[in-house]
Structure 1
């Protein structure tokens, strides 16, 4: 038997002896201390038995009430925990511990406004833990968000709908985010709003509707890489590689410095290679976009372009696009052909 197991067995035996002694002679043990030690050892039901017995003798013992509340929280008895912690907080209003635990329980029971109020009292009494402060911050964010939503409902011109919808989505308020999105799109198609809609639809596992929103966003803002990255990722995740490839290539041709697109294209090519899927030729439209992008990059002159640009048939079939992106934006292996070339048609 290892030393850790032996020590735990000894500790359990010692606690057993103390519990039996308390049952026969309650004044032989400090009940609050024994209850907390039992909770620490994972014996919360025994802790509740000790606290209940002691409270019967002294209902106003704050240490006991706190110990009882902590034990109840650990066993998921939140209603009982709220009752005893409320009593403890009333008996010792200047002590932060009962208030801190009470705020936690109220939050766990979905009573956020009351939890924030109690958390503020705990902080005023000296609580410094991050969890208590976060309860207050989360409530303040929710109040501010409620005010923004109310303004939007009153007059949509008062709020930027994409930012508001994203804030609601970040707060797990998907239904209200979609309400804002529907109102905004009913007034005017907007790429930012459509991207947020796609995130909301994905959170609801409505992938077909998410993909549709991203396609519409790409049509509205073809130079913006975010909707293409999201759509390309979704398509690659479900194995639609030949559908994902041109979307990502097209976006990369317009955004050569986007390292996330370069990485995504590499992932798609790897998946195609593993599946034995032939790589189609790079579309002429993508080549035009690429050359237009290169024209906007000052360091690339005609001589450099001639040195790096193969003939059109070659560049359409050799993954020229991602290598150009790697060459000019510090990515590794800028020009060497892959050791594992993609199967060609």
Structure 2
């Protein structure tokens, strides 16, 4: 598409997100799914078109990993509107006709790129941000967001959820008070049991930039509005819960710096275990690629819900489920790798020197508070 035509189509897709949808009955839902898979399967056989990620898989898995039936139907309705097709038999496209199929593929490609540019890219860029204490000085973070690190450390027994490393600063404090007789939070010897000590951080489950706290809808940037609208398609109604939990232990967990970084890269995920013998808030933590750098995975952990005589909420299960879904879509479609390469390139070349769409997009994301500043800009 020409540049002007592409911009018009982007505006059309943005308008699609704001369109109200009528409920579908059981027959219409079944027809919507059948037609969706027929279209996606048709393009799964298409030769690579030069894209650095698999567009048809991004669309397919965004649908399949949506967190409720209501969300999946909402996504299908948005998909058909983006392709200017009806769910029923009207507006039928002959996929065996090359010209019609190619025109439809342009719309599919544009829809996939729209999801990446306005949802997956800003989400992944914001998830890479620094630990919360550093964020507090940045104007993009609402003043009402507090640092949950202390409560997280207490709830998680001053240990990394994955490695079980004990917090270095807390170990020093206890050694000063009790010397070699110091104990951990479960009354076990702290310095005689082979513990290792590292600096720990409170890692947000969902980026704080997703919160609407302190902003009215009219104050939100265009990019952020689109991101939140797509988020609502992915998990209908989650925005209110994010606003309630941001900056609280319910949206955070204790991790080492290394695992905090990997969590921000969506390199591992939590799957809730609900078997009859599983304690509440128990998860299997796994990653996509085995690596000596993450030798502790997979591992099963149970989050505590109280410490020092007070109740502290564990991480919100719905947030962990959403994070798991997003990680799978990014990995299975290769969009995560594409975004990593894009962000690396844009970090090395932060100024819009050649007027490219990618660099202009990155500049806009930075203005909207999604992307961290470059090392040069921080100095």
TM-score norm. by structure 1 comes to 0.22
Kindly name which structure, 1 or 2, has the bigger radius of gyration based on alpha carbons: 1
Bigger fraction of residues in strand: 2
Structure possessing the higher relative contact order (Cα contacts under 8 Å, 6 or more residues apart):
2
Which is helix-richer, 1 or 2? 1
